[in-house]
Amino acid sequence: MNRQTIARFRVRPAVFVYALGMLSLLGSPAWAESKSPKVFHAVAVDAKSVETDVKNVIFYYEEKISETAFVPHEMRELPVKRGTATVKIKFDGIKHIDLKSSGSGTPPNVTVTLNDGKTGDFVLAIPGSFKGQSEFGEVELPAAELKKLTFK
């Protein structure tokens, strides 16, 4: 190989790597948007019949791993029990959730109505809360203190 052949051999991979790098930089915002989770909007009615408009609703709970350490979990699905099975109902399919407090610190009973009209009675699998943004700021609504959550 002569010097010109060596120079061309090194330039072509460098141009390819540069072009690939530019494509990844320019394409990153579009890829990030397509991977972002869906945002859910709901109206919550608490035990005192106060309505709260909540945007970017998530189901939130903390898992205790030691006396001083907790792991936060944010889900866009509702974990419920039907018999011994745990069912995770995605927010996409839910029209509204009716919650009935069972008292004595146990998770509430829930009636879930899906977008297609089907309903089911369950027990909330994990004592948690619904979090999101209201017009006044971040809001956290404990599931045990809610009557109804209607998705828009």
65 plus 119 within the same structural domain: yes
Q: List pLDDT tens digits, range 61-77.
A: 999 999 999 999 999 99
134 and 69 part of one domain: yes
List beta partners, residue 131.
Answer: 58, 140
The predicted pLDDT at position 26 comes to: 57
- What SS3 state is found at 116? coil
Query: How far is it, in rounded angstroms, from Cα 58 to Cα 45?
Result: 16
Residue 28 is part of which domain span? Answer: 1-36
- Domain identity same for 29 and 49: no
Q: Are 45 and 116 members of one domain? A: yes
Over residues 119-140, the mean pLDDT reads 95
Q: Is the same domain home to 31 and 73?
A: no
Please report where in the chains the tokens 């001083």 appear, as a residue. 68
Q: What is the dihedral of CA 7, 10, 11, 13, to 10 degrees?
A: 160
